[in-house]
Amino acid sequence: MNTLKIYYDSEADFLEVQFSPVSGYMRETDNDNVMERVDLEGKIIGFSVLNLRQLAQDKPLIARIYHLSPVTLTV
């Protein structure tokens, strides 16, 4: 079973969510504040959001995540 990891840096206002511990790289999205983390095959294994507080004030942040494997939330 995969573990969902959530990291937030309040000074940088940066949120990162990882669905899988495998190596990957960040890929741009249509939103300049949102990046996808993908593995070498191009599968989404996480995402990051920059300026989260500012985005949350403007309007809801909607993300479509197509992750089919069950995950466990670790807090």
Its pTM stands at: 0.74
Q: Which pLDDT score is estimated for 53?
A: 86
Edge to edge, the sheet with strand 34-38 lists 25-28, 34-38, 44-50, 14-18, 2-9, 71-74
Give the C-alpha separation, 69 to 14, whole Å: 25
46: left (phi over 0), alpha (psi -120 to 50) or beta: left
pLDDT digit string (tens) for 39-75?
998 888 999 999 988 887 767 766 665 554 544 444 3
pLDDT surpasses 70 at 1: no
